[in-house]
Structure 1
Amino acid sequence: MKNNKAYIIFTRIPTPGKCKTRLIPTYSGQEASDLQGDLLTDLLVSVVDLPAAGIDVFVAYSDEQGPTRFLNSLPAGVQAFAQHGANIGERMNNAMATVFAAGYQEVVLTGSDLPELTAQTIRRAFAVMKEIVIGPSADGGYYLIGAQRGVDLVPLFTNPIDWGQSTVLQSTLRAITRHDVQLLDAQVDVDTPADLERVKQHLDRHNQQLQQWLTEEK
């Protein structure tokens, strides 16, 4: 552990038919998998210098396929570990608990399918965090969640929450009313073809791989 803050990218290993399935059949399983990989690559490039700013970077990956090639592709300095748990709530809870157990005092977790997400967003999340920080997503869920050491993570992830539904954010906020919660600006996570159309209007220079993917799929 180099710093006392940690940022976790929560992702699937890009595998045809296993990720971004809501883009199918508009796009093939291979195209959806390539998009997953390109979004992750853009995000990693954006945040790879965070350790110099006091924030260590982790990748929590699904390991339904052999992870060796995936792990070898990660930038130097990015640490990685496998997700575990029966559902997405348990897996996020366990990912944050794993990093807290390593001694970190503040932890932020996001997905990997966020074209608008940059290192600036992550730094902002740590800057405003008092107990819990959440970045709402446009679909009624959230793209970012963070907490300080000592916050009980169980209500965040194990209350009855219909994961993947538009009620996730509100259900989460109801479960943590006793905490000081800071909200960031909303962002779009890419799950559907409509999401892709929406983010096309806001691409920036940090979206190089995504822009290349969009050009190839025209």
Structure 2
Amino acid sequence: MNAPGPSARGADPGPAAVGPGPAASPAVLVMAKAPLPGTVKTRLHALLGSRGCAELQSALLAHTVELTAGWPTFLAYDPPDAEDAVRCLVPPGVRLLPQRGSGLGERLAAAVEDVCTLRPGPVVVLGTDAPTLTADRLAAAFTALDSGHDVVLGPALDGGYYLIGMRRPQTRLFGLDPALWGGDQVLASTLAIADRAGLRTVLLPPLRDLDTPEDAAVLLGDPLLPARIAAALSPAEVAP
């Protein structure tokens, strides 16, 4: 199935942020929780158990990193002492960075700053919760940035986003009220910040995150769900 094209919004760019132009080499930043039992996918514990949820997180992390094979890739992991738990899941060329900061917004901002210091240029940030994300969708994000948009966002159906990309570092986009993170206003609040800053923003087609039993039930019926993730869900009778 061919996804619909991106939709543009926003005003003309405001004053340029500090950073390189769009011709600089792009990079991908994956934000990931280490697959430690009892700490990941907690809303699926009743279906999979803590160990099964850790196995699911391993599959999601490995799948997401595989999509980035065509670009320089950084993986920011949490907790910061869990490097060994993620290193075995990613290719040697992926640069590992510990997350730092007290909340998700701070951790995203710090990770983007770290990546853009190490490799100046456009950066696309991914989570690991969207199992039907494809490499083509990631390529579309970079195409949007290369065509002159300042920000690209991939909306998640729950009101968050599965992808955010920037031509130049725009860490103000992560300056949401800490209480909003994880809720259904994350995308809308981020778009509002971008609009106020005069940033040209484009939206990719939406995807479903895998967080809840309902998500699992829907995604198991999606032909785009990777086999390894379907297998990680298969030990349970999944129901909404």
Note whether the superposition's TM-score is higher than 0.5. yes
The structural deviation recorded for 1:144 is 0.5
Q: 1:8 to 1:119 in 2, by over 3 A?
A: same
Q: In 2, Cα distance between the equivalents of 1:94 and 1:176?
A: 19
Matched with 1:164 is: 182
Does structure 1 retain, via aligned residues, the 8 Å contact 2:126–2:163? Answer: yes
CA deviations 1:162-209 (Å, max 9, x no partner) are 1011111111111110110010000011111111112112233x7131
Q: Determine if the alignment matches structure 1 residue 45 to structure 2 residue 61.
A: no
Aligned to 2:110: 94
Mapped partners of 2:67, 2:119: distance in 1: 25
Change (3 A) 1:65 1:29: farther
Aligned length: 208
Structure 1's unaligned 5+ residue stretches are none
Cα shift at 1:64: 5.1
> How many Å apart are 1:77 and its aligned residue?
1.4
- Structure 2 CA distance, aligned partners of 1:108 and 1:169? 16
Deviation at 1:69, TM superposition (A): 4.1
Question: SS of 2:235's equivalent?
Answer: helix
User: Which residue of 128, 151, 166 corresponds with 2:144?
Assistant: 128
TM-score by length of 1: 0.89
Aligned to 2:47: 26
In structure 1, the residue matched to 2:171 is 153
Gaps of 5+ in 2: 1-23
CA distance in 2, matches of 1:64, 1:217: 31
Aligned to 1:116: 132
Q: Distance in 2 between matches of 1:20 and 1:166?
A: 18
Q: What code does the residue aligned with 1:207 have?
A: P
In 1, are the aligned partners of 2:35 and 2:85 still within 8 Å (CA)? Answer: no
Residue 5 (structure 2) aligns with: none
Describe how 1:1-218 pairs up with structure 2 within 5 A. 4-48=25-69, 50=70, 55-63=71-79, 65-129=81-145, 130-149=149-168, 151-154=169-172, 156-160=173-177, 162-177=180-195, 178-204=198-224, 207-218=226-237
Instruction: Letter of the 1:152 partner, please give it.
Output: Q
**Which is higher, the Rg of structure 1 or of structure 2?**
2
Shift of 1:215: 3.0
- Tell me the alpha carbon deviations over residues 141-176 of structure 1, each in whole angstroms, 9 at most, x when there is no partner: 111101112x5322x111325101111111111111
2: CA distance between counterparts of 1:105 and 1:70?
Answer: 25
Q: Which has the higher contact order (CA 8 A, sep 6+)?
A: 2
Query: 2:141·2:165 contact (CA, 8 Å) conserved in 1?
Result: yes
For 2:25 and 2:80, the matched residues in 1 are separated by 31
Whole-angstrom distance in 1 between the partners of 2:131 and 2:88: 23
